Amino acid sequence: MRNAKERLKFMRPLEPTLVEKPPGGDGWIHEVKFDGYRSQIVKDDGDVRIFTRRGLDWTAKYRDLVETAKGLNAQSAIIDGEIIVLNEAGVSDFGELRKAITRRQHDLYFVAFDLLHLNGHDLRDMPLEDRREVLQAMISAGQRIQFSEALPGKGAAVFHLVEQAGLEGVVSKRKGSKYRSGPSTNWLKAKCYTIDEYELLGVEREAGKPAFALMAERGTGRYVGSAFITLNREMRERLWQRVQEHAGAAPKGTKRPATQWVTPGLIGRVKHLRGEEDLRHASQQDFREERIQSGEQEM
């Protein structure tokens, strides 16, 4: 047994670069981008720790996964992966993940996609495919720790299938690449878009600048970001009329002089990147009026 001071330490993970579409050509492997918490399993003899992507020790939050990791076919290892929970459709669900961590530990999975260290050997200089081959051999089927399989086909075809399946996106990894901590173009992530409804908080308009709708999560009122208003002229005028009819006061302590705030009741349909806690690359596609008191809705 090694001295506690010699225990394996957390390694900063490689951070993929966000791109619009997966790369073409044969020099890449493509995997599903899961909607969960990037995590790292560190196994040291009989001791297992699980870290967040920023290096926080969350071992106590993942008791069941820790027990599963103790059974991995390795004396010591550092494994890069994603902790997820699946919804009824079999798709990783970030919203359900938060609940599962506190209430349903048995529903958590760790999807392993890279191996940084094994039995005293640093593997980060090994080619990607070799690291993954060793990793796959360590993992038994049917367990809470699973191997992230590469998807067959080239980037465009894989992305289309992932989008149709309602998944978050694709991570493309350069064949033969080494593992290096921090931002890297050896891994590229392409995210799919989805459309959801949010409560409209207000509209920000300044002369000569694009107009943005400020959005909040329905039910909680939590501000989630702004969406570029892409409506045609007629719908933009109708939206502005509704905004004026529903004019409200600015939230306490808020200083956004170019924003017309509204009272609850306007709902915006927003296209945005999947798998983000807040809106990213978002655009407002439509809106409707919701009559809170009567429960009636006006399209």
**CA–CA separation, 199 vs 260, rounded Å?**
14
Among 72, 52, 54, which residue's Cα sits nearest to residue 62?
52
Question: Which parts of 139-206 fold into alpha helices (H)?
Answer: 155-164
Q: Tokens standing for 51?
A: 């870290």
219: left (phi over 0), alpha (psi -120 to 50) or beta: left
Question: Which amino acid is present at 45?
Answer: D
Q: Tokens standing for 283?
A: 């655009």
Q: How many helices (H) and strands (E) in the chain?
A: 5, 17
Count of alpha carbons within 13 angstroms of residue 204, beta-carbon side: 15
**CA–CA separation, 239 vs 15, rounded Å?**
40
Question: Which amino acid is present at 192?
Answer: C
Three-class SS state of 23: coil
Cα separation of the two ends of the chain: 68
Q: Is 178 designated active site? A: no
Which is catalytic among the residues 5, 9, 21, 33? Answer: 33
Query: Known catalytic residues?
Result: 33
